[in-house]
């Protein structure tokens, strides 16, 4: 119901009602302020939880022994020109261990490629030409729609034949083998798999049975071949149907791309500790640690504002006074800086500064790794194990201390939101009541005004009558 805005009384009823409701909504505004603060804290706690979770993940990885067994495999060609790419590559897996291996590449794997000498169109039995492709003791039947080369290409390119077909334009020769000036197309078949066992033969179904098809060799199918320890009494030859030799060393796969020249030196495969990966374990741990500490510090720092009257107001950060956050900060600082078996983390490059942040000293770490890699692993893994336990307890889903804190704040935000909504309903009802009250007041005043005018007119009329 809209208020009658001072039609009789002259009172600005709408403004008066708004002022009264503003005063009554003071509690709601306080609740809104509390909700905004609670939401900011919930968001800040969520951000911190994410960063602590990343620290837990990084620390867990750095604490595992297998993470420190990272190695890299490299193939070198002694005597090769500077910048030349070795004709082989190697990949080290999780189980690879350090070591070296010399070898020569005697052959690379290749598939068979042949030109097909097709019979005359009337040589086939039946309406459609039918071929039998034999590869590694297995046969595949291929049936074409016609003897035309395009139909043969389509038939051999069907799934599962083991070959790829293409039409190749060639010159037509006369009886003496000389070009006639005309051209035609011949069928070329190329095996889809490399290796000697994947060589194929071809026959067609003629009137009197299967007839062999002439194949003109373009490239013979062959296995890749490497000679290990060449020139020594331990010389060994390995073959592979592909150019990759799996497990040529423990956890190492070798892929060859070219034959080693007769006058070239043997290639050397070296498997060594992957210092870049090991360094990343330590530097990544420090980076995640600093991210957590920086987040806590920035959210705990007080802020200064100036009020309209010139007063300076100092407000604490969102995390200021939060015992859980302060204890987490102290625990992380302690665990990252305390010695492991009497060796300080600073001795392996994890250095704490006066401001409570950490830096990764690459030079110190590299020197320590070269001197005693086992000790470096023990110290970094020890620090990581301590941090992983603390960070996991704080951030894990369900019962982590930070996770529970986030849930508690989110619950507070929801509760405050419900209370604010209740105030909306309450104020709406109050507005309706006030509008009715002031409307009734205006109506009453209007009625009284009408009565007053009537009485005044009656009195005026009486006074106007002549005296007898």
Residue 242's pLDDT is 96
Question: Is pLDDT at 368 greater than 70 in this prediction?
Answer: yes
349-365: b or e for each residue (b if 16 or more CB lie within 10 Å)?
bbbbeeeeebebbeeeb
pLDDT band at residue 467 using 50, 70 and 90 as cut-offs: low
**Better-predicted residue by pLDDT, 95 or 196:** 196
320-342: b or e for each residue (b if 16 or more CB lie within 10 Å)?
eebeebeebbebbbebbbeebee
For 308-365, how does the pLDDT look when each residue is reduced to its tens digit (9 = 90+)?
777 776 666 788 878 889 999 999 999 999 999 999 999 999 999 888 899 999 999 9
Query: Which of 35-39, 59-63, 158-162, 314-318 has the weakest average pLDDT?
Result: 314-318
Q: What is the mean pLDDT of residues 62-88?
A: 86
Write the CB contacts of 119 (distance below 8 Å, at least 6 apart in sequence): 204, 206, 211, 213
For 381-403, how does the pLDDT look when each residue is reduced to its tens digit (9 = 90+)?
999 999 999 999 999 998 899 99
Residue 468's pLDDT is 54
Q: What is the mean pLDDT of residues 121-148?
A: 90
Q: What is the mean pLDDT of residues 94-123?
A: 91
pLDDT band at residue 192 using 50, 70 and 90 as cut-offs: very high
Question: Is pLDDT at 444 greater than 80 in this prediction?
Answer: no
Question: Is pLDDT at 407 greater than 80 in this prediction?
Answer: yes
Question: Is pLDDT at 21 greater than 90 in this prediction?
Answer: no
Residue 440's pLDDT is 77
Residue 315's pLDDT is 67
Question: Is pLDDT at 1 greater than 60 in this prediction?
Answer: no
Q: Locate tokens 């042949």: which residue?
A: 114
Question: Is pLDDT at 449 greater than 80 in this prediction?
Answer: no
What are the tokens at 68? 């420190």
CA atoms of 444 and 449, how far apart (whole Å): 8
* Domain ranges within the chain, ordered by starting residue: 1-70+274-461, 71-109+223-273, 113-219
Residue 155's pLDDT is 95
For 207-248, how does the pLDDT look when each residue is reduced to its tens digit (9 = 90+)?
889 999 999 999 999 999 999 999 999 999 999 999 999 999
pLDDT band at residue 120 using 50, 70 and 90 as cut-offs: confident
> What are the DSSP calls for 399-438, one per residue?
T-HHHHHHHHHHHHHHHHHHHHHHHHHHHHHHHHHHHHHH
Helix, strand, coil shares, percent, the chain, to 5 = 45, 25, 30
Residue 327's pLDDT is 93
Residue 211's pLDDT is 93
Question: Is pLDDT at 379 greater than 70 in this prediction?
Answer: yes
For 79-100, how does the pLDDT look when each residue is reduced to its tens digit (9 = 90+)?
776 667 888 999 998 889 889 9
CA atoms of 35 and 416, how far apart (whole Å): 6
CA atoms of 150 and 255, how far apart (whole Å): 37
């Amino acid at each position: 119901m809209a208020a009658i805005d001072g039609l009789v009384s002259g009172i600005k009823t709408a403004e008066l009602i708004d002022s009264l409701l503003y005063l009554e909504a003071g509690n709601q505004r306080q609740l809104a302020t509390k909700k905004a603060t609670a939401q900011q804290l919930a968001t800040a706690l969520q951000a911190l939880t994410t960063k602590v979770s990343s620290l837990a993940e990084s620390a867990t990885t750095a604490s595992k022994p297998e993470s420190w067994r990272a190695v890299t495999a490299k193939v070198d060609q002694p005597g090769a020109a500077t910048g030349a790419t070795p004709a082989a590559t190697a990949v080290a897996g999780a189980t690879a261990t350090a070591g070296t291996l010399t070898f020569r590449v005697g052959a690379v794997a290749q598939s068979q490629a042949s030109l097909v000498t097709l019979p005359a169109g009337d040589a086939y039995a039946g309406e459609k030409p039918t071929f039998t492709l034999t590869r590694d003791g297995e046969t595949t039947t291929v049936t074409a729609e016609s003897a035309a080369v395009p139909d043969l290409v389509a038939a051999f390119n069907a799934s599962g034949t083991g070959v790829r077909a293409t039409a190749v334009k060639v010159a037509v020769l006369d009886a003496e083998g000389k070009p006639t000036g005309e051209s035609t197309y011949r069928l070329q078949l190329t095996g889809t798999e490399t290796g000697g066992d994947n060589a194929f033969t071809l026959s067609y179904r003629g009137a009197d049975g299967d007839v062999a098809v002439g194949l003109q060799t373009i490239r013979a199918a062959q296995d890749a071949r490497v000679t290990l320890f060449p020139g020594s009494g331990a010389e060994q030859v390995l073959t592979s149907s592909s150019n990759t030799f799996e497990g040529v060393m423990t956890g190492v796969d070798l892929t060859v791309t070219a034959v080693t020249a007769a006058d070239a030196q043997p290639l050397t495969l070296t498997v060594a500790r992957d210092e870049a990966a090991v360094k990343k374990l330590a530097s990544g741990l420090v980076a995640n640690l600093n991210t957590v500490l920086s987040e806590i510090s920035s959210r705990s720092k007080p802020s200064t504002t100036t009020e309209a009257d010139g007063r300076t107001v100092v407000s604490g950060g969102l995390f200021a006074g939060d015992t859980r956050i302060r204890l987490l900060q102290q625990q992380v600082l302690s665990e990252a800086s305390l010695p492991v078996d009497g060796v300080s983390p600073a001795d392996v490059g994890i250095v704490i500064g006066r401001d409570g942040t950490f830096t990764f000293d690459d030079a110190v770490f590299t020197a320590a790794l070269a001197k005693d890699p086992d000790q470096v692993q023990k110290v970094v893994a020890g620090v990581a194990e301590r941090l992983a336990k603390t960070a996991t307890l704080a951030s894990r889903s369900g019962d982590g201390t930070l996770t529970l804190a986030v849930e508690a704040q989110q619950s507070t935000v929801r509760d405050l939101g419900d209370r604010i909504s209740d105030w909306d309903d309450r104020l709406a009802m109050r507005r309706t009541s006030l509008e009715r009250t002031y409307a009734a007041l205006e109506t009453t005043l209007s009625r009284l005004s009408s009565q007053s005018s009537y009485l005044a007119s009656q009195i005026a009329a009486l006074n106007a009558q002549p005296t007898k």
